[in-house]
Amino acid sequence: MIEKLVKLATGRDYAIGAGDLGYMISKGAVPMLRGLVWSVLHVRRWRGLMLGPNIQWVMSGRIRTGRGVLIGGFSYVDGSAREGIVLEDRVTIREHAWIQGRSGLNDPAEGLWIGAHSYIGPRAVIGIGGPIRIGSGVQAGAGLTITAESHEADEAGSFVSGRTERRGVSIGDRCWLGNNVSILDGVEIGADCVIGANSLVTRSIPSGSVAFGSPARVHRRTAH
């Protein structure tokens, strides 16, 4: 019965045992209550949104969530990008995430889209800048960093007064990214890729690749 209620509320399937009640209350019921209150205060239909404690919101009206979305506690979520933030069904963003839609009164960023069933581990840092598109079924470990803008030096060689480019970042469906992966502006990672832990991705990676290193290089193909 409890499994059916959780499925109805969040769209997620869980095998719930007798000893899981305490965990469900602290990690499920309380975040669901926060999500319900948040949805009511923002005049939105509650769709199983789950929120951790002490989330800081900026322009939350531009943040659109699907069914069963979870955002972990102590996160900073800035929806001020031109196209806002779109989190499709069952997206999970774990604790201490930092998502920036603009820097001060500079030009707002383009937008962030995360596809259904994708998981972003704790302590993610996502600086939107150009458009960031993360596909469906993506699994990213702790410490993911995405920087969707780059700084170019001016004629005097200064990066401080130089120009800024925003090309964006794209991650294809069903990619697996290990802990502490960093992805720079202009990178496109194709579908079904595996990016090893602690990798720095400075150039695009074709679909079905296993890549790792700093800078990341393709070492073999996946079985897809």
- Give the active site residues: 151
Between the alpha carbon of residue 31 and those of residues 52, 78, 141, the distances in Å are 5, 20, 21
Q: Round to whole Å and give the CA distance between 75 and 94.
A: 8
Q: Round to whole Å and give the CA distance between 63 and 37.
A: 16
Tokens matching residue 157: 């060689």
Taking alpha carbons only, the member of 38, 58, 41 closest to residue 49 is 38
Side-chain half-sphere CA neighbours of 119 within 13 A: 10
Q: Is residue 120 classed as helix, strand or coil in its secondary structure? A: strand
